[in-house]
């Protein structure tokens, strides 16, 4: 192995890992900003805690199931308690340690997306137990299907470059199961009509989105797993176009239908554009990246309204941003993948609009159905067990006083609370 | 409806205290609400406002007589009890609150001011008992900003015109809808003449009034789509008050100020504008406004703490295909009207 190439690959993927890990900061700001201040400390703290727990579980079990051997299309069966040693002994283009941490960061992102369905009312214990299950037998199984050379969807030619379905749809499906079982937050619906529960800091939310957007260059461009001929630049390029399309389309659509340019919708649009382009960033032409982003921006608005109509509480829009846009992004690959880029990735083929017929689109649809089906069913089973054993939701009183106090005994904004109690004296 | 009014008139005349007026207020609520869908909206609004006028006039009269029977005595000066807002425009719904004020001839001595302070307090208490909540924004005669001698009123108007701040313009637009409900009507006429004179003599006044007038935009999407309430109890409904009615009222009012028309009812204003804007436009405005008045009267109301109130939102259930289509046409007319006044004021510069 050429040491220069190995070194460059290592630096780039290590940097990508750092960027993807920093996306957790984006999620903290996004979730804290989109929810009420009485839960802010909890949101931040539980994110860091679950990233820690996720690391241990992924190292012990999850990585082996995702990328372990055994020739099994469903799940890997070795490489548990991963111990790669110091050196790059097998002569691969990337040290396994770096590959591990990079993949770990993806697992943590999927987990954090799932927390969107838990927001503002789940017990801390539920986060703990769900992390154990999600990182050992839910996310890694799906990652194996699509990203492992043994995976059955991989071998059918499924194309998901950086995880529109593997990471985002999986996380969103877990969030869906959680939010259905937890039921809506107190006050979200009255007589079947949705009320707006405002987040406490829109600047946090916007900064969260920006941090995620920046981190996405590690997420997508890092998924090249090497510097190669600089193809990572092209991936970053389409990623940026997709995000831009999402932000612009969502703002316009909110202006058309709400009469105001809604900031939350626009932020969701940017994220939806990023989620949607994730599967296709290495497969499509620039114009298609823009179209994928634009459609995602429109879709996220419609989807938000749909979930509200269905009486499903989606506190930080995980179902729309990661779920619906994840589905769209995965399917879009079957429409817009070009033959040259598909050949380069050497997994599937060209999309419908590039002479591939319905073949690739069908495989992408199969991916969506399989991923969503497995993630929802598995998450439901796990959450029902957790519900039976320790319960999922805090009490009504605890929810009203907020999770900062009920779960941790301190407020995220202690001085603010002190001022409030002084002024009421 | 004529019979309801005649009956109300008789029973109002007989009432000797505020408590006896309260059942009459409830009666109009029930009887007129029932007749809304079977009536001509213009006649219905006229009837509702005549009924409110009768009860409020009687409330003032009773308050006056209560004071007269004490050591305070009778009014020391001629005065006019004024309605502002929807009352001033004779466009009250069955649940409107009360924006009111008072003007008296002179405050030659301190006791005059004290008398009107006591009178307005008694009127407000009476209106509360009868079922009319005071305006939450403080546009009420008990607020001394809205209860003054003629001289003080004129001074205040002049200050507001010269100040030209956003808040002053808001107050002036409130005054533009003033209507004498009880007392010496010539005092209100004089106020209006002063107002018109100040419009003419104060450079840039229309410009400043325009900014405030356009505060509430007609709520129609860029593709001509109806913008519905996204959240809350009224989700799927339409804010007929602030999305349609108020923008129409504001636009017509400003055009009338520009042309020196003193009528306060929006329909009357539109009629008097015909000579300036032509039959076609005034007919279009009239039709659209009548339909908006109808929809505004259809909004749900509730009785809270003894007061009738409404959020001014048309329910999703009322927005069938036909209503939505007609409403969109009206909103389009409203948008054109807002463009028209912009142009009108711009040409005036």
Q: What is the pLDDT of residues B52-86, one digit of tens each?
A: 999 999 999 999 999 999 988 999 999 999 999 99
Q: How far apart are CA A120 and CA A398, in angstroms?
A: 10
Answer whether B236 touches A (CB < 8 Å). yes
pLDDT confidence of residue A369: 98
pTM: 0.88
- The answer to whether residue A373 scores a pLDDT higher than 60 is yes
> Rounded CA gap, B198 and B194, in Å?
6
Among A358-362, B13-17, B187-191, the range scoring the smallest mean pLDDT is B13-17
**Whole-number Å distance between alpha carbons of B273 and B284:** 12
A214 touches chain B (CB under 8 A): no
How close does chain A come to B217, measured CA to CA in Å?
A: 10
What is the mean pLDDT of the segment spanning A260-268?
A: 96
Q: Given this model, what pLDDT does residue A423 score?
A: 52
What pLDDT, on a 0 to 100 scale, did the predictor assign at position B80? 97
pLDDT at B125 over 60: yes
* A313 touches A179 (CB < 8 A): yes
Q: What is the pLDDT of residue B199?
A: 93
- The DSSP bridge pattern shows strands B147-149 and B100-104 to be parallel
- What's residue A1's pLDDT? 65
Q: How confident is the model at residue A300 (pLDDT cuts 50, 70, 90)?
A: very high
Measured between CB atoms, does B224 come within 8 Å of chain A? no
Structure confidence at residue A422 as a pLDDT band (50, 70, 90): low
> Is B231 in Cβ contact with A193 (below 8 Å)?
yes
Q: What is the percent of chain B with per-residue pLDDT over 90, rounded to a whole number?
A: 73
Contacts of B71 (CB under 8 A, 6+ apart): none
Confidence bin at B123 (pLDDT 50/70/90):
very high
Cβ proximity of A128 and A144 under 8 Å: no
The vertex-A73 CA angle with A69 and A74, nearest 5°, equals: 95
Helix axes B205-213, B321-348, angle to 10 degrees: 160
CA–CA distances in Å: residue B27 to residues A219, B13, B30, B233, B321 = 69, 15, 5, 28, 33
Q: What's the longest Cα–Cα distance across chain A? A: 73
Report pLDDT for A182.
Answer: 97
CB–CB of B225 and A256 under 8 A? yes
% of chain A beyond a pLDDT of 70:
97
Nearest to B237 by CA among A367, A376, A405, A193: A193
Measure the CA–CA gap between A189 and A258, rounded to whole angstroms. Answer: 20
Do the chains contact at B231 and A258, CB–CB below 8 Å?
no
CB atoms within 10 A of CB A267: 28
A192 interface with B at CB cutoff 8 Å: no
CA B3 to CA A401: how far, in whole Å?
57
Compute the average pLDDT of residues B92-105. Answer: 89
List pLDDT tens digits, range A206-234. Answer: 999 999 999 999 999 999 999 988 999 99
* pLDDT at B27 exceeding the cut of 90: no
Burial track A61-92 (b if 16+ CB lie within 10 A, e otherwise): bbbbbbbbebeeeebbeebbebeeeeebeeee
- pLDDT tens by residue, B202-224: 988 999 999 889 889 999 999 99
Using 50, 70 and 90 to split pLDDT, how confident is the model at A271?
Answer: very high
Average pLDDT of span A101-113: 98
Of A191, A194, A258, the CB nearest to B227: A258
Q: Is the pLDDT of residue B143 over 90?
A: yes
Closest Cβ–Cβ partner in A193, A258, A259 for B233: A193
Which of B225, B232, B236 lies at the smallest CB-CB distance from A195? B232
Q: Give mean pLDDT, residues A379-387.
A: 98
What's the mean per-residue pLDDT of chain B?
91
What pLDDT score does A262 carry? 95
Q: Do residue B231 and residue A191 have CB atoms under 8 angstroms apart?
A: no
What is the pLDDT, as a whole number, of residue B128?
92
Give the pLDDT confidence score for residue B136 in this predicted structure: 82
Residue predicted with more confidence, B182 or B310: B182
B220-245 pLDDT, tens digit each: 999 999 999 999 888 999 999 999 99
Cβ-defined contact of A194 to B227 (cutoff 8 Å): no
**pLDDT digits over B106-119, tens only?**
867 778 999 999 99
CA distance A353 to chain B (A): 30
- Count of CB pairs separated by less than 8 Å, A with B: 30
Cα of A153 to nearest chain B Cα, Å: 41
User: Quick one: pLDDT at residue A424?
Assistant: 44
Neighbours of B336 (CB within 10 A): 15
Mean of the per-residue pLDDT values of chain A: 95
Residues of A in contact with B235 (CB under 8 A): 193-194
pLDDT digits (tens, 9 = 90+) for A53-95: 999 999 999 999 999 988 799 999 999 999 988 767 677 889 9
Q: Find, among B314, B285, B280, the residue nearest to B297 by Cα.
A: B314
Tell me the nearest-neighbour CA distance from B91 into chain A, angstroms. Answer: 27
Q: Does A2 touch chain B (CB under 8 A)?
A: no
Residue A425 confidence class, pLDDT cut points 50, 70, 90? very low
- Determine the 3-state secondary structure of B307 from DSSP: strand
Mind listing the pLDDT tens digit for each residue in A274-297? 999 999 999 999 999 999 999 999
Query: In whole angstroms, how far apart are CA B138 and each of A39, A280, B333?
Result: 38, 60, 32
Query: What six digits make up the tokens of A163?
Result: 């995880």
How many residues are given for chain A? 425
The residue in chain B having the minimum alpha-carbon distance to the alpha carbon of residue A308 is: B231
Instruction: Give the pLDDT band of residue B309 (cuts 50, 70, 90).
Output: confident
């Amino acid at each position: 192995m050429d040491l220069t190439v190995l070194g460059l690959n290592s630096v780039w993927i290590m940097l990508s890992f750092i960027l993807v890990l920093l996306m957790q900061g984006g999620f903290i700001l996004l979730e804290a900003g989109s929810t009420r201040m009485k839960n802010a400390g909890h949101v931040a703290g539980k994110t860091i805690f679950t990233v820690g727990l996720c690391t241990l579980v992924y190292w012990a079990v999850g990585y082996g199931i995702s990328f372990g051997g055994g020739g099994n299309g469903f799940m890997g069966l070795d490489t548990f308690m991963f111990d790669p040693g110091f050196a790059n002994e097998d002569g691969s283009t990337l040290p396994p340690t770096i590959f591990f941490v990079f993949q770990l960061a993806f697992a943590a992102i999927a987990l954090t997306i799932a927390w969107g369905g838990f927001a503002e009312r789940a017990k801390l214990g539920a986060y703990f137990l769900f992390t154990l299950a999600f990182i050992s037998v839910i996310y890694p199984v799906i990652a194996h299907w699509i990203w492992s050379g043994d995976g059955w969807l991989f071998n059918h030619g499924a194309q998901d470059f950086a995880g529109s379905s593997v990471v985002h749809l999986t996380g969103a499906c877990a969030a869906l199961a959680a939010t259905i079982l937890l039921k809506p937050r107190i006050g979200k619906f009255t007589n079947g009509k949705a009320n707006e529960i405002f987040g406490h800091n829109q600047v946090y939310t916007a900064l969260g989105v920006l941090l995620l957007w920046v981190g996405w260059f590690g997420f997508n461009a890092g998924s090249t797993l090497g510097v190669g001929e600089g193809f990572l630049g092209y991936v970053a390029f389409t990623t940026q176009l997709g995000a831009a399309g999402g932000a612009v389309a969502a703002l316009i659509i909110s202006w058309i239908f709400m009469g105001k340019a809604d900031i939350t919708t626009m932020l969701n649009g940017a994220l939806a554009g990023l989620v949607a382009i994730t599967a296709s960033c290495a497969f499509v032409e620039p114009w298609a990246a823009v179209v994928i982003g634009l459609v995602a921006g429109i879709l996220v608005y419609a989807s938000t309204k749909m979930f509200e109509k269905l009486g499903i509480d989606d506190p930080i829009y995980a179902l729309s941003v990661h779920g619906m846009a994840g589905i769209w992004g995965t399917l879009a690959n079957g429409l817009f993948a070009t033959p040259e880029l598909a050949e380069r990735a050497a997994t599937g083929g060209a999309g419908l609009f590039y002479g591939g017929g319905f073949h690739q689109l069908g495989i992408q649809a199969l991916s969506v159905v399989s991923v969503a089906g497995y993630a929802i069913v598995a998450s439901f089973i796990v959450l029902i067990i957790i519900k039976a054993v320790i319960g999922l939701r805090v009490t009504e009183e605890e929810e009203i006083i907020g999770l900062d106090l009920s779960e941790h005994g301190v407020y995220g904004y202690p001085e603010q609370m002190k001022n409030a109690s002084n002024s009421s004296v | 409806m004529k019979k309801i009014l005649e009956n109300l008139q008789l029973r109002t005349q007989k009432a000797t205290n505020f408590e006896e007026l309260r059942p009459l207020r409830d009666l109009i609520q029930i009887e007129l609400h029932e007749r809304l869908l079977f009536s001509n909206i213009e006649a219905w609004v006229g009837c509702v406002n005549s009924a409110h006028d009768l009860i409020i006039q009687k409330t003032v009269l009773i308050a006056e007589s209560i004071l007269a029977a004490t050591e305070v005595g009778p009014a020391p000066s001629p005065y006019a009890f004024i309605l502002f807002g929807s009352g001033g425009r004779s466009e009250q719904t069955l649940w409107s609150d009360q924006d009111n004020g008072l003007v008296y001839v002179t405050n030659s001595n301190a006791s005059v001011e004290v008398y009107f302070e006591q009178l307005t307090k008694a009127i407000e208490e009476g209106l509360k008992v009868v079922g009319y909540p005071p305006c939450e924004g403080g546009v009420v005669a008990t607020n001394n900003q809205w209860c003054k001698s003629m001289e003080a009123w004129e001074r205040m108007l002049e200050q507001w015109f010269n100040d030209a701040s956003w808040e002053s313009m808001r107050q002036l637009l409130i005054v533009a809808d003033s209507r004498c409900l009880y007392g010496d009507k010539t005092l209100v006429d004089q106020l209006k003449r002063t107002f018109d004179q100040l419009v003419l003599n104060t450079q840039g006044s229309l410009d400043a009034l325009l900014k405030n007038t356009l505060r509430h935009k007609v709520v129609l999407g860029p593709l001509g789509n109806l913008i519905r309430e996204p959240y809350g109890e009224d989700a799927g409904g339409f804010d007929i008050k602030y999305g349609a009615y108020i923008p129409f009222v504001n636009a017509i009012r400003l055009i009338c100020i520009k042309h020196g028309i003193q009528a306060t009812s929006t329909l009357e204003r539109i009629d008097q504008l015909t000579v300036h804007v032509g039959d076609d436009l005034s007919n279009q405005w009239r039709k659209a406004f009548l339909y908006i008045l109808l929809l505004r009267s259809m909004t749900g109301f509730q009785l809270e703490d003894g007061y009738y109130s409404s959020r001014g939102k048309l329910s999703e259930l009322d927005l069938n295909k036909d209503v939505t289509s007609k409403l969109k046409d009206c909103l389009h007319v409203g948008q054109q009207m807002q463009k028209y006044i912009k142009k009108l004021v711009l040409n005036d510069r």
